[in-house]
Structure 1
């Protein structure tokens, strides 16, 4: 089976990989020079990850902190910019450390070129995760 190249198809595949806790597979969807940004990152947290290796290091222990179960309410919007989509979604599951429910709303602006993610701006609220009793982002710095 060939790798998905359409941005919406690639994004759906990325969500399936996250649900399967296949972080190496998820990272493989990234371009070598891909950039992940967190515009709402608080002080002391990464606001920008440059390159596939930095993204891999950041995500390496994600399943140890957040056990994702589903991405309900997924809406993928096409844009006039070729290769760029805007995604609205919820991620649900549980926080591993506290066993508390995890329910986060996300908006992401994702650009795909040549079948790989080149840019991912993740507009999520990291303070909500801290309030829920996990230290996910800090442990992944």
Structure 2
């Protein structure tokens, strides 16, 4: 079975657009048994893995902190394994609480089932979030080697 690159590209773009709508629009793009992972998130006190219900609560908290995030340089790469993709994207927004510019380069790995995400892993730099959110003492948040 061959992966349709347009299917992954279209669903990923729908997800990026949904981040600027509301949490419900985002959550509807995931299967009921989906899992969402942020491997670097524990370094700033956020869980590394969410089920759909936990992800809903996370979105309700985080989306208001990053309104109107503009995405650019969107690239989606279909893999040999069916319905599996890598993606890269740059995001920017001004955080309302601080007025600081948040800039982030993301790398995502995801699988889809039908027209929904069944797994989604997002890699990002925790330091960029901490700086934009005005947290001055970065060393208290970073994992010690």
- What is the aligned partner in structure 2 of residue 131 from structure 1? 131
- What is the aligned partner in structure 1 of residue 110 from structure 2? 110
How far residue 43 of structure 1 moved from its aligned partner, in angstroms, is: 6.2
Alignment partners' CA distance in 1, 2:111 and 2:103? 25
3-state SS of the aligned residue for 1:59? helix
Coordinate RMSD, CA, aligned: 1.8
Alignment partners' CA distance in 2, 1:35 and 1:109? 12
How far residue 40 of structure 1 moved from its aligned partner, in angstroms, is: 1.4
Q: How does 1:4-23 map to 2 (within 5 A)?
A: 6-19=7-20, 21-23=21-23
How many residues matched?
129
Q: Tell me which protein shows more helix as a share of its residues.
A: 2
8 Å CA contact retained: 1:38, 1:47: yes
Runs of 4+ in 1 over 4 A off after TM superposition: none
8 Å CA contact retained: 2:112, 2:118: yes
Unaligned segments of structure 2, at least 5 residues? 1-5, 136-145
**When the two structures are superposed, what TM-score results if normalisation uses the length of structure 1?**
0.83
Larger radius of gyration: 2
- What is the aligned partner in structure 1 of residue 86 from structure 2? 86
Q: How does 1:13-92 map to 2 (within 5 A)?
A: 13-19=14-20, 21-41=21-41, 42=43, 44-50=45-51, 52-92=52-92
How far residue 134 of structure 1 moved from its aligned partner, in angstroms, is: 4.8
Unaligned segments of structure 1, at least 5 residues? 136-141
Deviations 1:33-63 (A, max 9, x none): 111111112163201112x211111111323
8 Å CA contact retained: 1:65, 1:97: yes
